[in-house]
Amino acid sequence: MSIPVPFKSKYVGQSVKRVEDPVLLTGRARHIDDLEFPGMLHVAFLRSPHAHAKIISFDVSAASALPGVECVLTGAELKEETRPLNTMPGIASGWSGYAMAADKVRYAGEAVAAVAATSRYIAEDAAELIQVEYEILDAVVDPEQAALPESALVYENQESNVLFERNYTYGEPDRAMKEADLVVRENYRFPRVSGNPLETVGVIARWDSVADELTCWTNTQSPGGSIRGSFVNPPGRDQITAQPHGGSFGTKMGALLKYEITAALLSRLCDGRHVKYIEDRMEHLLASSTHAWDRRYEAEFGFTSDGRCTVMKVRLLNDVGSSCENSAPSMCWKPLVMLTGPYKVQHFEYDMAAVVTNKTPEGAYRGYGVPPHTLVIERLMDKAAVALGMDAAEIRQHNFIQPDEFPYKTPTGTEYDSGDYPAVLQLALEKANYEGLKAEQQRRRDEGRLVGLSVVFGIEPGGVWAMTGPFRDWLGGMGAINPESAAISISAEGTFDVELFYALEGQGQPTFATQIIADYFGVTMESVRVSQSDARNPAPSMGPAGSRQAVVLTFALIGAADKLAARLIRVASNLLQTPADQLEIADGSVQLKGGQGPTLPLGQIAATMTFRPDLLPDEIEGNPQVTYTWRANRPVDTEGSPYLSYANACHVALVEVDRATGQTSIERYVIADDCGTRLNPAMVEGQVQGGVAQGIGATLFEEYVYDEYGQPQSVTFADYLMPSIYEVPMTEKHAFVTPSPLTALGVKGTGEGAIHVTPAAIFCAVNDALAPLGVELEHANAKPERVWQLIQQAANI
Amino acid sequence: MNVQSDLDSRQVTVTVNGKQESLEVEGRTTLADMLRQEFHTQGVRVGCEHGVCGSCTILFDGEPMRACLLLAVQADGHEIKTIESMADGNKLHEIQEAFSEKHGLQCGFCTAGIILSVSELLERCPEPTDEQIYEILGGHLCRCTGYQQILQSVRLAADMLLEK
């Protein structure tokens, strides 16, 4: 594979070991719960046992009297000091509560009071002593019922529970549907799931009202922001910093806000002492604002008799839970950037609505809404294939955007950058021995066994650079750029120090940053150190999200390296009395282009800048450090794509469903994927395999279940089943590389690709397994009890 | 309810990573909290506090155990090893080296517990079958890797220790 790199590539493209591993392997990384400060207080929350209830009164006297308790704060008191959680512009305004419930609770587990005490043990004791009187209200649980006019209201300031309704129509879907030779339709449900990183969400706040500043140490994915706007009397300045995370997957963004606000207020009330709150696992499962994709779909696709898909209609009902306290409901919009998947379809109707209910608020999760949409597309492609007597692979090949059609403009205005879908599919089929698998399936079906085979395809929007295009509607017509920065300095010894503006998260950004900078300057990886900036005023950064870091950080790193290189060459030009345009950087030195003549080690140039600035040209800063902030040079308009790269993948799965138990076992799992240039193939494989595991979790095990009263039934890892090594197949992964023409080095984002495609692969395979019984699963979570019930139904037909 | 009655302190003598110490702990203090807060072995990662995820696994007299499910007082007179005991200064243990070589970690939060469980396995069983490795890894949740590179890391660790 050739990498389109502007430098000699020794490390880029290699599966080098990760530079961040030693601190992680020895337990020395400092996570948020590892930070200790003198006199630090610990928070425990009292949480509502009811899904929907008015708060009549609080009695905190016993809690306040407990030795070791420094402060008790009720939701009613917090409300006086803060603003509603959602302070963003846009359509979600007016649809959130406060950091704690003040007048009424809207989900079971919502915090109603907080205690700060000298230990977490005492804080929890005290929380139990708080008395709250409730008047229980009818819980709004079912999203379809929630939309009805007679439903109880989650927000009395609103006319209904319908948060938004939108219709996006492209082409003439009604006419196309009428003209279709074949129409397939189905209703689907996707389970409420979440990222569930092994480390929960946490914060330490210190609000010193004398110094007039607030500092929050957190494990947020996007440090550097501000929460000043959340307070009636805000601090003069605030700083949000981030520690290394024990996994995130989108959960460590908006979910932090309610805890930051509460811990900050408690700190202010306790004379600026440090105040720590770490969710325990039950709190995370019960009440962290991270639940995602509780969705119902009605979908209808039209085809010609020869298997060409001409029209897609998808109607989405999204249950956002009780609050729009973060931007998560914008996950409904993301499918607009890949609405037709890898297929050429000109007529599309995407009709979406979201309702609030008395459940835990929605939060971002890896994939940001694309996985359920991909599942709907892929399952209906399968249904059409069956109806037309075509093979699953054949119908996809028949509808693919072709390699010579890139850049391909989708009906919504998105431009897919590059790809070769037929080749990726072909690679997967070959490696899987697809024909052999089909024969094997038939042989076992003949024995009466339930064996399913799926071939599915998905698109991964990556490198999110702006909240533009479809997201502007969510933001009330506004757009926002999501820049990324990197800083580089060089020492007199010729070593490089690279700073990133977010915390260690696990995907390996420090490693590929080391690879890129070492190659750029022609030095060893050992000469490059990457760390997180501790700048008081950090350069702009969005951090990891939207499969973006391979794309945006690569841009930022190369931009910073170019800036530093130009400065070093300018100084060298002066020292060597040689025009700058005749010089280049190679092997850690400045040399004459072509390699002839004297060389000047980069460290020596840095030493000159630091110790002999009198030798510098006047216009050159004597500072061997640069910061570069990258932004895409594209218009922020209502058209266009918020994503730069479109990776793609084909998954082939062979499963068997046990007739007696309804349990699905995955026997073979083959992946071919194209994420452009692979900076570090082993890290890409890790991202893919991790996404597969989460996709399998969502479709076979994980689900947040609520009863008819809105009581959560999945509040431990014994109820919310995370896949273990026994449940996750060892997949066979194959790379296909089409470098992106729009990104530095040809990379495409790859953090989310596998979770986009895996739910579809499992769902389609399970349905294929059940096909001989004449039953079909509509709920995307194919847990044994659900499948078993279907098998019983079939037996009774 | 008389909260004070739960707070009785006890004297505990425990050996952590080869160093014996005596200290007073409340009866209800979990072993995980004592290790993290009193011994500052913060590599003991607390993931679920109900014994499912395995992140807080330590070696208790050589046996892998969940530090979140034990009380500190139960460690009285016992020997505990945490991840901090594995490397020799900045020289990684072979198991740690193998995890780095095979990309057996991403965020690293579950890794300490896994490495300790694996160290016990490889001591007891230097040439483990995949089935034996699965049995050990089956007691640990990892949300990042999907386990494949962990499995490869454990296989490599076994090879490295055999060659040692």
Whether residue A548 sits in one domain with residue A416? no
Cis amide leading into A407 (omega within 30): yes
pLDDT of residue A285 exceeding 80, the answer is: yes
For residue B2, give every residue at least 6 positions away whose Cβ sits within 8 Å of its Cβ, in sequence order, or none. Answer: none
For residues A696 and A596, state if they share a domain: no
Residue B52: pLDDT above 90?
yes
Q: Choose from B143, B154, B156 for mutation: most chain A CBs within 10 A.
A: B143
Q: Do B48 and A281 touch (CB under 8 A)?
A: yes
Compare all CA atoms of chain B with the CA of A194 and give the residue at the minimum distance: B143
* Residues of chain A contacting B44 with CB distance shorter than 8 Å: 27
C-alpha to C-alpha distance for A141 and A176, rounded to whole angstroms: 36
pLDDT exceeds cutoff 80 at A340:
yes
Average of pLDDT values for B23-38? 96
Overall size of chain B counted in residues: 164
Confidence of residue B3 (pLDDT cuts 50, 70, 90): very low
Q: Which of A18, A66, A693 is nearest residue B147 as measured by Cβ atoms?
A: A693
A442 & A491 share domain: no
Where a domain ends, among A595, A630, A665?
Answer: A630
Q: Tell me the CATH number at A88.
A: 3.90.1170.50
CB pairs under 8 A between A and B: 182
Q: Which domains does chain B have, with CATH numbers?
A: 3-85 (3.10.20.30), 94-163 (1.10.150.120)
A20 contacts in chain B (CB < 8 Å): 108
User: Are residues A405 and A514 located together in one domain of the fold?
Assistant: no
Q: What is the DSSP string of A230-297?
A: GBSS--SEEEEEEPPPS--TT-SSGGGHHHHHHHHHHHHHTTT--EEEE--HHHHHHH-TTBB--EEE
Residue A312: inside a domain: no
Residue A125 has pLDDT above 70, yes or no: yes
**Same domain for A92 and A207?**
yes
Reported ipTM: the value is: 0.97
Q: Which of B26, B49, B145 is opposite residue A690, by nearest beta carbon?
A: B145
Is residue B76 within 8 Å of B20, Cβ to Cβ? Answer: no
Classify A516 as helix, strand or coil. Answer: helix
Q: Which residues contact A541 (CB under 8 A, 6 or more apart)?
A: A222, A223, A224, A483, A484, A485, A500, A501, A502
Which residues in chain B are contacts of A246 at CB distance < 8 A?
45, 47, 107-110
| Whether residues A580 and A707 fall in one domain | no
pLDDT, average across residues A410-416: 90
Cβ neighbours of A694 in B, within 8 Å:
143
Q: How confident is the model at residue A555 (pLDDT cuts 50, 70, 90)?
A: very high
Which residues of chain B neighbour A221 with C-beta distances below 8 Å?
A: none
> CA of A281, closest CA in chain B: separation in Å?
5
Task: Give the β-pairing of A182-190 and A104-105.
Answer: unpaired
Q: Do A682 and B103 count as a contact with CB atoms less than 8 A apart?
A: yes
A-chain residues near B103 (CB < 8 A): 15, 17-18, 682-683, 685-686
More confident residue, A470 or A710: A710
**Does residue A504 belong to any structural domain of this protein?**
yes
* Domain, as residue range, for A616: 21-27+484-630
Q: Count, in order, helices (H) and strands (E) of chain B.
A: 5, 5
pLDDT, position A5 = 64
Nearest-neighbour CA in chain B from A341: distance (Å) = 25
Confidence of residue A1 (pLDDT cuts 50, 70, 90): very low
Residue labelled with tokens 């409420």: A192
Residue B103 has its nearest CB partner, among A30, A686, A725, at A686
User: Rounded distance, CA A22 to CA A34, Å?
Assistant: 17
Task: Report percent pLDDT > 70 for chain A.
Answer: 99
Is the same domain home to A673 and A747?
yes
Residues of A in contact with B55 (CB under 8 A): 198
Place of tokens 């205690």: A115
In a domain, A15, yes or no: no
Concatenate the DSSP letters of all residues of A105-128 into one string.
Answer: E-STT-EEEEEEESSHHHHHHHHH
B44, B102, B144 member nearest A247 (Cβ):
B144
With CB atoms and an 8 Å threshold, state whether B105 touches A24. yes
Please report, for the domain that includes residue A509, its CATH number. 3.30.365.10
Are A198 and B147 within 8 A, CB to CB?
no
Chain A residues inside the 8 Å CB shell of B48 = 281, 716-717
- Lowest average pLDDT, out of A3-7, A404-408, A579-583, A708-712, goes to A3-7
CA distance A503 to chain B (A): 11
Dihedral of the alpha carbons of A401, A402, A405, A409, in degrees to the nearest 10:
10
Summarised one tens digit per residue, pLDDT across range A731-773 is: 999 999 999 999 999 999 999 999 999 999 999 999 999 999 9
Same domain? A714 vs A743: yes
- How many CB atoms are located within 10 Å of the residue A762 CB? 29
Q: Which of A228, A263, A287 is the last residue of a domain?
A: A287
Mean pLDDT to the nearest integer, B34-60: 97
Q: What is the mean pLDDT of residues A87-93?
A: 74
Is A347 part of a structural domain of the chain? no
Residues 6+ apart with CB under 8 A from A77: none
pLDDT average, residue stretch A303-330: 95
Name the DSSP class of A343.
B
Q: What is the DSSP letter of A615?
A: G
pLDDT band at A797 (very low <50, low <70, confident <90, very high): low
- How far off is chain A from B78, nearest CA to CA, in Å? 22
A633 burial via Cβ count (<10 Å: 0-12, 13-18, 19+): exposed
What pLDDT shows up at residue A640?
A: 75
Question: How sure is the predictor about A2, in pLDDT bands with cuts at 50, 70 and 90?
Answer: very low
Residue B83 to residue A199, Cβ atoms within 8 A: no
Contact assignment for A716 to B48 by CB distance below 8 Å: yes
**Residues A448 and A390 grouped into a single domain:** yes
Is residue A702 less than 8 Å (CB to CB) from chain B?
A: no
> Could B141 and A731 be called an inter-chain contact, meaning their C-beta atoms sit closer than 8 Å?
no
pLDDT at residue A283 above 80? yes
pLDDT exceeds cutoff 60 at A310:
yes
Note whether A686 contacts B86, CB cutoff 8 Å. no
Name every chain A residue with its beta carbon within 8 A of the beta carbon of B49.
Answer: 280-282
Q: Using a CB-CB distance cutoff of 8 angstroms, which residues of chain B are in contact with residue A751?
A: none
Note whether residue A332 is domain-resident: no
Is A511 in the same domain as A651? no
Let me know: does A746 contact A644? Beta carbons within 8 Å: no
Distance CA A158, CA A174 (A): 33
| Domains in chain A, number | 3
For residue A327, the model assigns a pLDDT of 85
Burial class of B5 by CB neighbour count within 10 A (0 to 12, 13 to 18, 19+): exposed
* CA distance linking residue A96 with residue A111, whole number of Å: 14
Q: Residues A361, A320: contact at Cβ < 8 Å? A: yes
Predicted confidence band of residue B2 (pLDDT cuts 50, 70, 90): very low
For residue A258, the model assigns a pLDDT of 97
Domain boundary among A562, A595, A630: A630
Average pLDDT over residues A662-677: 97
Give residue A105's pLDDT band: very low, low, confident or very high (50, 70, 90).
very high
Do A246 and B3 make contact, defined as CB atoms within 8 angstroms? no
Q: What single DSSP character describes residue A17?
A: P
Torsion angle (degrees, nearest 10) of CA B71, B74, B80, B84: 20
Q: Does A65 touch chain B (CB under 8 A)?
A: no
CA distance A234 to A229: 7
Integer CA distances (angstroms), A268 to A37, A207, A214, A235, A265, in order: 16, 5, 9, 10, 5
Q: What is the pLDDT of residue A13?
A: 96
Mean pLDDT score across all residues of chain A: 95
A342-390: per-residue pLDDT in tens? 999 999 999 999 999 999 999 999 999 999 999 999 999 999 999 999 9
Arithmetic mean of pLDDT, A413-418: 92
Buried b (16+ CB within 10 A) or exposed e, A501-515: bbbbbbbbbbbbbbb
> What residues 120-159 of chain A have any CB closer than 8 A to a CB of chain B?
121, 125, 128
Assess whether A593 and A651 both reside in one domain: no
Q: Which residues pair with A670 in a beta bridge?
A: A652, A732
Chain B CB contacts of A507 below 8 Å: 106
* pLDDT reported for residue B1: 41
3-state helix, strand and coil shares in percent for chain B, rounded to the nearest 5: 40, 20, 40
**What local confidence, expressed as pLDDT, does residue A468 receive?**
83
Which of A1, A2, A3 has its CA nearest to residue A744?
A3
CA distance A103 to A362: 21
3-state secondary structure of B19: strand
Q: Cβ of A40 under 8 Å from any chain B Cβ? A: no
Candidates B26, B109, B138; nearest CB to A247: B109
Query: CA of B19 to nearest chain A CA: how many angstroms apart?
Result: 18
- The winner for highest mean pLDDT among A90-94, A214-218, A477-481, A583-587 is A214-218
Chain-chain contact of A247 with B48 (C-beta, under 8 angstroms): no
B142 contacts on A by Cβ (under 8 Å): 198
Task: Compute the distance between CA of residue A218 and CA of residue A151 in angstroms, rounded to an integer.
Answer: 38
Q: Contact A434/A652 with Cβ under 8 angstroms? A: yes
Residue A43: pLDDT over 60: yes
Q: Indicate if A438 and A496 belong to the same structural domain.
A: no
